[in-house]
Chain A
Amino acid sequence: MAKASERERCITGIEGLDNILGGGIPTHNIVLVAGAAGTGKTSLAFEFVVRGAVSGENGVLITTVESKSKLLANIPSLVFYDEKTVGKRITIMTLKDLLEEAGISDGVAGESVMDMLISMVEKMVVTAKAKRLVIDSIDTILPDQKEERLDTYFLTKLSQMLHEKGSTAILVCKAETAEGGIGSVVDGIIQMGNLERKGDLLRTMQVPKMKGATHSRAKYVIDLTSAGVLVTTLLKGGI
């Protein structure tokens, strides 16, 4: 019998992140990747799907970027990304197409719309046999932050679906979104940020919350490279 304290992990394949998390993201978790513009959210989320594909797990990537080719062009090429093999395991859909197919026009909200959205995402996850789901970003899906009830409704439904399908999700959002009410509803938060030190600007990553895992809460310094997101300790002597 599985121990309640030791949940099965989705090994992200991003070595530095897996180390911080003590092995990976607990399976079924919904994890926010939150941060200011240009902090590396898309890079991290994309690598999550690509690393999965490399290790044989299919992924679904829903993106606000207008087209797949533009998405790939925006992301500096990863040395382990191969369109012919890895690319096959990744289903990419633009958010615009998703909303259109779901018959949702912009500005519409309500539980029925959320239901529609979830069932569309579910269909994609089932069709793709996806173990990893990324939505980059959810800020446009949940445009009105005052509608917290609806956010919670969406996340609860998504969580149910992930449990049924055995999948793990990364949702990208702005820093403020994670600080709001939905931060307490999701299972985990990965904060991307900047740290200024004597005029130098370092990229940082920190995990303040991850249900089902004993993890480091320290701030780490990261680099976005063609070998993926690299992580190292923040030197203490410098602050």
Chain B
Amino acid sequence: MSEDLHSRVALKLEAVGPSVSIGLEIKIESYFDIVRGLIEDFASKNGMNCIYVTSSVPSATLNSALQALEVDTEGLRFIDCVSHTMMGAIHRVDNTVYVENPSMLENIMLKVEYFLRLAGDKKTIVVFDSANSFAIHNDPKILSEFFTIILNSLKAREAYPVVLMIPDQLKVEVKEMLGMVCDVIMPIEQDHQP
């Protein structure tokens, strides 16, 4: 059933609506399907912007994967927190800003603010990819402070905040923290399991 997983992600988000912070439980095997669902089926098809904060996969990798699928990336903006920490030169891309590393949480908040300002009134989904990689670079206390502030601020602006999480690889305390800061924890694959 993986074929229509991406459209199912969009349907689930549409059912929830704006101003609700969602912890999206995903499986690593369905990662690209989920990303596609968020960016194409949900954001692009609804004429929304997508601010994609990545601390796991470099934006260039995601960009080329999306291009290969011929996904419309017009309204897509990346906040890339991984490419700086990897060796080698960064190819600067128009729709991407870079944060030096995933522990510069304030700078991530500022870049989100930046893209929201440039977008004006346009509806926006903001994806954090992922809680797992953020938890590697930050202790749970500051991460909880970060998510509390940014998720509340996004809710106040009627955005769609989504935190990706791979639950079986998350420490218990991080999982509990996400349960506190997110309004809903939404498993994606469970529905189609017997």
Contact = CB atoms under 8 A, between A and B. Distances in A.
B63 to A, nearest CB: 22
B100 interface: yes
B105 interface: yes
A222 B117 CA distance: 15
A223 B111 contact: yes
Interface in B127-149: 139, 141-146, 149
B104 A200 contact: yes
Contacts of B118: 79, 226-227
Which interface class (under 10, 10 to 19, 20 to 34, 35 or more) fits A?
A: 10 to 19
A233 B106 contact: yes
A198 B145 CA distance: 18
B145 A237 contact: yes
Nearest to A221: B106
Q: Is the interface of B mostly helix, strand, loop or mixed?
A: helix
B159 to A, nearest CB: 16
Contact of B117 (A227, A233, A237): A227
Interface in A197-239: 198, 200, 202, 221-223, 225-227, 230-238
A30 to B, nearest CB: 29
Contacts of B104: 200, 202
A223 B97 CA distance: 12
Interface string B91-111: 000000000110111110111
Contact of A236 (B117, B143, B145): B145
A79 B111 CA distance: 15
B110 A198 contact: no
B113 interface: yes
A237 B114 contact: no
Contacts of A230: 110, 113-114, 117
A222 B110 contact: yes
B109 to A, nearest CB: 5
B141 A232 contact: no
A235 to B, nearest CB: 5
A44 to B, nearest CB: 15
Interface in A55-98: 79
Given A227-B118, A230-B113, A237 B106 contact: no
Contacts of A235: 105-106, 142, 145-146, 149
A6 B103 CA distance: 41
From A79, A225, A226, A236, name the one whose CB has the most chain B CB atoms within 10 angstroms. A225
A208 B132 CA distance: 38
B106 A202 contact: yes
Contacts of B114: 223, 225, 227, 230
A238 B145 CA distance: 10
24 contacts: A200-B100, A200-B101, A200-B104, A202-B104, A202-B107, A222-B110, A223-B107, A223-B110, A223-B111, A225-B110, A227-B117, A230-B110, A230-B117, A231-B110, A232-B110, A233-B109, A233-B149, A234-B106, A235-B105, A235-B142, A235-B145, A235-B149, A236-B142, A237-B139
Interface of B: 100-101, 103-107, 109-111, 113-114, 117-118, 139, 141-146, 149
Interface of A: 79, 198, 200, 202, 221-223, 225-227, 230-238
